[in-house]
Amino acid sequence: MSEGLHSTGERLNALLAEAGLAPLDGVLAGRFEDYLSLLLRWNARVNLTAIRDEEGILRRHFVESIACARLLPAGIATLLDFGSGAGFPGIPIALCRPEIAVTLAESQGKKAAFLREAVRVLGVAATVHSGRAEVLHKVFDCITLRAVDKMGIAVQSAARLLRPRGWLALMTANTELDALKAAAGAEFAWRPLVLLRGGEERLLALGNREISLPV
């Protein structure tokens, strides 16, 4: 591993420590370094994320997503990353929680192509759905949503793809949270909010579907 890559892993672990999170081991840090390298190369020609500098990607995308991965409850076997974009938080979840089979749903063709390449390069237990998540004909133990267009409508659609007793994981700003909870519906019981230290005033809300309402 080159010195540049090594220092990237060190910077990521320093940011995790700053956020009160445990560091990654050397092997896992190396896989996140590979992910960052691939993301930067693709982002130079495809608009994957508006945050283009390494420090911003590490702080905002990586730290937030690693925090989400670690906070997901045990027992989740299948997860849908709804509107995955550049793979956040789905790819970090697949890296940190290899027991979870992750589906990355992304309707934009160039972003879906990047996700397929990332899955191949990183060798994670994930599949890519190149299309709208709403058309999937299966249900999941957990669905994550982060920075999705028309988030309230997306949350309603995600709730229909969630199995009974499943989990919604919403990564959002505090100002949007009440509206998103309302969009999810009354059958969800929400855990205490967790502050995501990678970004400003961003939260993780975990909702468990305790009641299955008739369709």
pLDDT at 210 over 60: yes
Residue 198 near residue 206 (C-beta atoms within 8 A): no
Residue range 6-64, pLDDT digits in tens: 578 999 999 999 999 999 999 999 999 999 999 999 999 988 988 888 998 999 999 99
| Residue 188 falls inside a structural domain | yes
Report pLDDT for 198.
Answer: 57
Q: If you average pLDDT over residues 126-140, what whole number do you get? A: 95
Distances (CA, A) of 64 to 22, 89, 154: 13, 8, 20
Instruction: Tell me whether residue 205 is in a domain.
Output: yes
Q: How far apart (Å, rounded) are the C-alpha atoms in residues 49 and 54? A: 12
Tell me whether residue 149 is in a domain: yes
* Residue 173 main-chain phi, psi, to 5 deg: -85, 150
Mean pLDDT for the stretch of residues 96-108: 97
Which of these, 129, 93, 126, lies nearest to 111 by C-alpha position? 129
- Regarding pTM above 0.95, the answer is no
Per-residue model confidence as pLDDT tens digits over 64-88:
999 999 999 999 999 999 999 999 9
34 within a domain of the structure (yes/no): yes
Residue 1 pLDDT grade (very low, low, confident, very high; cuts 50, 70, 90): very low
In a domain, residue 214? The reply is no
Has residue 152 got a pLDDT over 80?
yes
Mean pLDDT to the nearest integer, 127-133 = 96
Query: Token pair 């004909």 is at which residue?
Result: 137
Tell me, what's the pLDDT at 30? 95
- Give me the phi and psi of 190, to 5 degrees please: -105, 135
| Whole-angstrom distance, CA of residue 135 vs CA of residue 161 | 10
Residue 202 is assigned to a structural domain of this protein: yes
- The residue among 185, 190, 189 whose CA lies nearest residue 213 is 185
Number of domains in the chain: 1
Does residue 4 register a pLDDT over 90? no
Can you give the CATH number for the domain in which 200 is found?
Answer: 3.40.50.150
Q: What is the pLDDT of residues 158-196, one digit of tens each?
A: 999 999 999 999 999 888 999 999 999 999 999 999 988
Q: Which domain holds residue 77?
A: 3-209
What is the predicted pLDDT for the residue at 147?
A: 84
Question: Which amino acid, residue 48?
Answer: L
- Distance between CA 174 and CA 177 in Å, rounded? 5
Q: According to the model, what pLDDT value does residue 199 have?
A: 55
The DSSP annotation for the chain comes to --HHHHHHHHHHHHHHHHTT-PPPPHHHHHHHHHHHHHHHHHHTTS---S--SHHHIIIIIIHHHHHHHHHSPTT--EEEEET-TTTTTHHHHHHH-TTSEEEEEE-SHHHHHHHHHHHHHHT-SEEEEES-GGG----EEEEEEES-TTHHHHHHHHHHTEEEEEEEEEEEEGGGHHHHHHHH-TTEEEPPPEEETTSTTEEEEEEEE------
Residue 215 lies in a domain: no
Q: Do β-strands 162-173 and 140-146 pair in parallel, antiparallel, or remain unpaired?
A: parallel
Both structure tokens of 100: 């979870």
